[in-house]
Amino acid sequence: MENKAALSAGERLIKSKQNRSLGELRGKILVTLCALIMITATVAVTIFLTVKGLQSFLVNHVSPIEFLTSTNWNPLADQPSYGALPFIFGSLAVTFLSALIAAPLGIGGAIFMTEIAPSWGRKVLQPVIELLVGIPSVVYGFIGLTVLVPFIREHGAGTGFSILAGTIVLSIMILPTITTIATDAMGALPNSLREGSLALGATRWQTIRKVLLPAALPSLLTAVVLGMARAFGEALAVQMVIGNVRNLPESLLDPSATLTTIITLNMGHTTYGSVENNTLWSMGLILLIISFVFILIVRYLSSRRKI
Amino acid sequence: MNSKVADRIATGVFVTIAFIIVAILAALFSFILFRGVPQISWEFLTTPSSSVQAGGGIRDQLFNSFYILFITMLITVPLGVCGGIYMAEYAKPGKVTNFIRSCIEMLASLPSIVVGMFGLLVFVNTTGWGYTIIGGALALTIFNIPVMVRVSEDAIRSVPAEMKEASLALGITHWHTIKTVLIPSAFPGILTGSILASGRVFGEAAALLFTAGLSTPRLDYLDLNPFSETSPLNIFRPAETLAVHIWAVNTNGIMPDIREIANGSSAVLVLSVLIFNLLARWLGSVVHKKITASK
C-alpha cells in the first residue's frame, strides 16, 4: 500500500498504460488463438478422414473403380467384393427426390409468407417453422418408423421399408430449412421491385413469376442446396425407415441403403482396421467430398446473387 | 387465360401450400405430444432403463444428455465467443479471413455422422480413451462451434457503432472496449443464440453414436467424486444420451415396451427443445430490457 502511494501521479498513469497495452496484446492473442483452433479443426477433419479413407485403396488394394462402379457389396464372401454403388445411388436418390418434394413446398410457403399474407404469415408461421428446425432427426425417424412404414406396408407392396419412406421423412425434415432460408431471400428483395411491377399493371402472380422469382433465384437455389446437403448427410432418421439392403433398388417401394446408413450400421460391429471397416471410412470420405461440393455450389450461387 | 384468373389460381395454390405446411407441422407436434406425454411420469424420468424387461425409465439417459450438453457448452461458448470477437473486430478483409470463413462454412455443413467418425478416429481410438463423455462433448464442439461463432459475430456486429466509437474516443483501448462495451451489449444476442444451439446439441445423435457410445455403466448418484468409476460426473465413462437411446431402442431393443419408451423419450426430447426455444426468446428479451433500458 505504502509503495503504491509513493508513486507519483505520472508514474501511475504510465503503469496503467502498460497494463492496458499488455491486456490489449493478451486479448488479441486469445481471440487469434480461437480463430486458429477453428482452422486446425477443419484441417484436422479433412486430413484425418482423407488419410483414413484412402487406406482401403492404398493398403488393402481395393480397386477404387470397383468401389465406385460395382453393384456387388459382399465383404464376407470368400472372394469379397466391395462395390458401393448401390449406397451412393441410394444417397443421391433420396436426396434428389426429397428436394423435389420439399423445394416447391418450401418456396411456395416462403412466397405465401412474404407476398400473400405477410402480416400473420410472418408472425405465426415463421416462429413455428423455426421451431421445427430444432426437432431432433431421430424423432422424425421414429415417426417415420411407426406411422409411415406401416402405412406403406398396408397400401403398397413389401415391408414398407423403402426409398419412398426415406424420401418422405427427409422431405419433411428439410422443409423447414428450405422455407426459412427462402423466406429470408424473398424478404430481402427491395420493395421497389414489387411496386414497379404492380405500377405497370401486372397482377400479383405476374409480379411473382416474372420479377420476384428471377431476382431471388440464386438465393432460392441456395436454400434448396442447403436442404439437400442436410438430407444427404442425415444418417439415423433414414436408417430407421429405408430397410438397409445391399441391392440396387428397382422401384420406389423397394428397400435400399445409403452411405450414411451403412456406416451407421456397420461401424460398430466391424473390427477396426479390417478391410470392411476401411471401406466404411472410404464412404465417409465420399460424404466429406460431396459436402465440399455442396459448399462450392452455394458459393457459386451466392456470387451470382443479383441483389 | 385471363391474367386475373391466373392470379386467382396462383393465390389459391400458395394458400394451399401454406395450408399443407401448417397441417404437416400441426400433425407432427400433436402426434409426438399426444402419444408421448401420457408415457411421461415421475417414475419414467427417475428409473434407470432396463434392457430386457418392461418398465424401464430414462433416468441415466436424461442425465447424460444434460451433462454432455453442459460440458459441450463449457468448451464451445468461450471458443465461439472469442472466435466471434476475432471475426467481428480483428479480422482484416483478405485471404486469411476468407479462409477462416470457408473453414467455418465447411464445419457448419459437415454431416453429423462424419463428425462422429472423426471423433471415433481421434477422441476414441487415437487417444485410447474409448467411448467417453469428453469424446462426445469434443465431437459436439466441432459440430457446434460454427453456430456459436456466427451467433457471436452477428451479435457483436449489431452493437451500434456509436457506442464503440464513444468508448474509443474516451481513450479506452480496443480490447478494453470489447470487454466493457461490446460484449455486454451483445450479451442478449449471444445468450439467445447459445440456448438455441443447445437445443440442437441436445437432440444430436449421429455424432454421439461412435464417440459417447451406446451404453451407460451403473451409476451411483450419491458418488460425486468425478474420478470414481460409478460417479455420474466422471467424464471418462461411456454415456448414452436420450436421442441415441431412441435410436438404439428402435434398432436393437428387445424389451417388450419399445414403443412406449420411444414415445415417452421422443416427447421428452421435443418438449426440452421447445423449452429451450421459449427460454431463449424470453430470456433474450428480458436481458435486453434490463441492460439497455429500452422497451
When CB atoms are compared, the residue of B122, B196, B246 closest to A48 is B122
Instruction: Note the residue count of chain A.
Output: 307
List A243's β-bridge partners, or say none: A256
Q: Which residue of B has its CA nearest to A29?
A: B86
Interface contact flag, B247 A236, Cβ < 8 Å = yes
Distance from CA of B224 to the nearest CA of A (A): 31
Instruction: Express each pLDDT in A87-125 by its tens digit.
Output: 999 999 999 999 999 999 999 999 998 888 878 777 778
Distance from CA of A204 to the nearest CA of B (A): 6
Task: Give pLDDT, residue A1.
Answer: 45
Angstrom distance (rounded) from CA A227 to CA A97 = 12
- Given the C-alpha cell 455420474, which residue does it identify? B232
Q: Which residue of A has its CA nearest to B27?
A: A143
**Share of residues in chain A with pLDDT > 90 (%):** 29
Instruction: Note the residue count of chain B.
Output: 295
Q: Give 3-state DSSP helix, strand, coil % of chain A, rounded to 5.
A: 75, 0, 20
Interface contact flag, B110 A38, Cβ < 8 Å = no
Interface contact flag, B273 A135, Cβ < 8 Å = yes
Contacts of A130 in chain B (CB under 8 A): 277
Angstrom distance (rounded) from CA A234 to CA A259 = 10
Angstrom distance (rounded) from CA B66 to CA B217 = 17
DSSP code, position B229: T
Task: Give pLDDT, residue A14.
Answer: 65
User: Long-range contacts: B12-20, Cβ < 8 Å, 24+?
Assistant: B13/A108, B14/A108, B14/A111, B14/A112, B14/A115, B14/A116, B15/A112, B15/A116, B17/A104, B17/A105, B17/A108, B17/A109, B17/A112, B18/A108, B18/A109, B18/A112, B18/A113, B18/A116, B18/A117, B18/A121, B18/A125, B20/A105
Distance from CA of B256 to the nearest CA of A (A): 15
Angstrom distance (rounded) from CA B39 to CA B52 = 19
Interface contact flag, B22 A239, Cβ < 8 Å = no
Task: Give pLDDT, residue A62.
Answer: 83
Interface size, chain A vs chain B, as Cβ–Cβ contacts under 8 Å: 244
User: CA nearest B81: which of A260, A38, A216, A93?
Assistant: A38
Angstrom distance (rounded) from CA B291 to CA A55 = 56
Could you state, in chain order, the average pLDDT of each consecutive group of 10 residues for chain B (295 residues)?
Answer: 85 89 86 86 81 77 90 93 92 87 88 91 87 92 91 92 91 88 89 86 88 82 77 85 88 80 88 85 82 62
Contacts of A170 in chain B (CB under 8 A): none
The SS3 call for residue B181 is: helix
Contacts of B31 in chain A (CB under 8 A): 143, 147
Question: For residues B173 and A21, is the Cβ–Cβ distance under 8 A?
Answer: yes
Interface contact flag, B32 A139, Cβ < 8 Å = yes
Q: Which residue of B has its CA nearest to A103?
A: B17
Contacts of A240 in chain B (CB under 8 A): 247, 250-251
Contacts of B204 in chain A (CB under 8 A): 136
Task: Give pLDDT, residue A15.
Answer: 66
- Given the C-alpha cell 471410412, which residue does it identify? A281
When CB atoms are compared, the residue of A24, A125, A139 closest to B175 is A24
Task: Give pLDDT, residue B293.
Answer: 63
Interface contact flag, B175 A44, Cβ < 8 Å = no
In chain A, which stretches have pLDDT less than 50?
Answer: 1-2
User: CA nearest A224: which of A130, A108, A127, A115?
Assistant: A108
C-alpha cell at B79: 471458443
Interface contact flag, A121 B10, Cβ < 8 Å = no
Interface contact flag, A264 B149, Cβ < 8 Å = no
pTM of full prediction above 0.90:
no
The complex's ipTM works out to: 0.86
User: CA nearest B79: which of B7, B149, B183?
Assistant: B149
Interface contact flag, B18 A113, Cβ < 8 Å = yes
Choose, out of B3, B13, B17, B192, the residue to mutate when testing the contact with A (most A CBs < 10 Å).
Answer: B17
Contacts of A287 in chain B (CB under 8 A): 111, 113-114
When CB atoms are compared, the residue of B3, B13, B270 closest to A139 is B270
Distance from CA of A5 to the nearest CA of B (A): 24
Question: For residues B113 and A233, is the Cβ–Cβ distance under 8 A?
Answer: yes
When CB atoms are compared, the residue of A45, A135, A229 closest to B270 is A135
Interface contact flag, B111 A291, Cβ < 8 Å = yes
